[in-house]
Structure 1
């Protein structure tokens, strides 16, 4: 039987939505009532620091993906910010760690994806700076929109000077400033 079910969720990202839709399909197959599914989906809370979206009083959208540090998840987070329109899309990231001999290449690839999908990139720390900036700039990204910050606090100072209502900021990974 064909029918539609309108759902509301606090989750963002294609990865979360595809998992949610699979769960809904299973629930329907098991005979759950659509109104119970609708209620349950609306109750699902965002996971702290995992594509956790908040809006500030100043009208800026913050996407907190601070606990993510893997190639697939980082790419998906950049895909999420790429869907926003109307304001500046800004990423703040130190890149990814613990990737062995693929460390440089995977961070460079992340940089390329960032360069194609955001308006301003703030690269934090030195550890992955070269790989990320190479990747970002290889896409023709405006070098004046690439900010290198030594610390997270430094990145926050830069943000304070450029944010306006309608902007969206993605915090992608949050390596401590002491990580070398």
Structure 2
């Protein structure tokens, strides 16, 4: 279980600390009475608003990235387990194939016990690339809303978007191949 578990544990411990700070900031916000109208009925209640500052924005972005990384770790686990099942089926001798009755559980155990660090690293790279891709898509959309947009800017953004998409697809292909290599070893 070694280094992979320690890395994932340390990162999630940091993210939980960030969340605790974020919730403390939310608890400091003033609670005020407020009324809203729902289906032509006045509903009264209490309202709490956050005062957004740079620290709170960074904490929120850290949470979003953490959930994105977790999503990529789940995808990496899935890819590794499927690769492990296929490797067991195709490369194990016939006498040993029937020895393992639950190959999916065997693949999950192998991933968690021996390859968690590699899976977490691959997932981190994919999460970083996906984050950069989403940022470029947001900038591209913001730059494209105006009718008198700058053609040079749009060309540069299109080139960067192409490069990020290319890097993401290449990394996805390489990580899938790496998961298969891990399953074989």
Q: Same fold (TM over 0.5)?
A: no
Instruction: Please classify the TM superposition score into its range, dividing by the shorter chain length.
Output: under 0.3
Higher strand share: 1
TM-score normalized with structure 1 length: 0.23
TM-score normalized with structure 2 length: 0.23
Higher helix share: 2
